[in-house]
Structure 1
């Protein structure tokens, strides 16, 4: 089994999450930032699930500490804070993915499998500058921070751009290809923002007067 560090200070949710994940993972459950830092200093984990707001602080502090140590362990953040600014700040701190509470355990398990899957040996990738993109699984491999998992809509949007790297798409074109009927063109801008914040700003290029095109991040 792969090892998983669970940081959750809600005793009931933590116990349920641990018991469910233990079916497929070797789970270490801690309830504070201090205990998590100790576990990470003394042990090695394949993936981590961090609650955001804890009794002794915000787990973004712990994520930043890990990334400054050049630790590329995939991290999924669980948060009751679902606003754009909250998600962006978590991703900026170095989280690879986020899931808003309340959540379904099936989705949590699927995201963890995606974060730890060996994409390089089982799925064909597309080079985007120095990055690698795996549309079949919605993953990006960063040359700096490791694996980043895209949501379904983020992946669909990037896949359109990556399938036609020399084409500049209008917002209307992307809206029609990726999103449901009734969405506004501003939705495209929002998801471009999500991808840039999660990955690299140069991953998607803004073409003035047209829309968006695949970029070439360093």
Structure 2
């Protein structure tokens, strides 16, 4: 779906509410993600980031509102090969090689041997393809997990805190990989509680207590709030909301 300026929105969230018992977890969220963009979902732990991601994947019950991805409701069978996800904790098999992990997940989506090789190459792990996950660094293991998600050629990639806990150089390398995906037309939603990650994103979704405080570029947020860095901008938005 395109807006009046011709921008193609791949993912649309409309008035999304999620409750658990008497607790309101997500409170009327609205956002649009355009094709080939990187959107940072940034906020403190417990603010609802993972719940939103689960809803986008179609594995979280929605109380009201809607999520459309590529013109289909979240969780639709036709989206299974078009939307990929990596969890905050490593969710691949640690005792087998990078290649065998990617090949296994590739079989689940009908990927070919060429697809497996391409996925490993896209995350720059050709030299480590035969190495068990336990023999990789943290950043390399994260890239192996990404390869498993990419093997089906998804159009939307949802990543839950993929860079948290990594050293600065490894984080920078991963963001370069993410930027390469976006250049190929993949739409990325990347969560983090590290506010500085905003500088790598086309837009940020600042989130607090189940609500969005902003959806715009970090440069726009800082200019609007008169602040010098993402953390100050986030704190300024909190003050405005109160």
What TM-score, normalized to structure 2?
A: 0.31
The TM-score with structure 1 as length reference comes to: 0.34
Relative contact order: is structure 1 or structure 2 higher (C-alpha 8 Å, sep ≥ 6)? 2
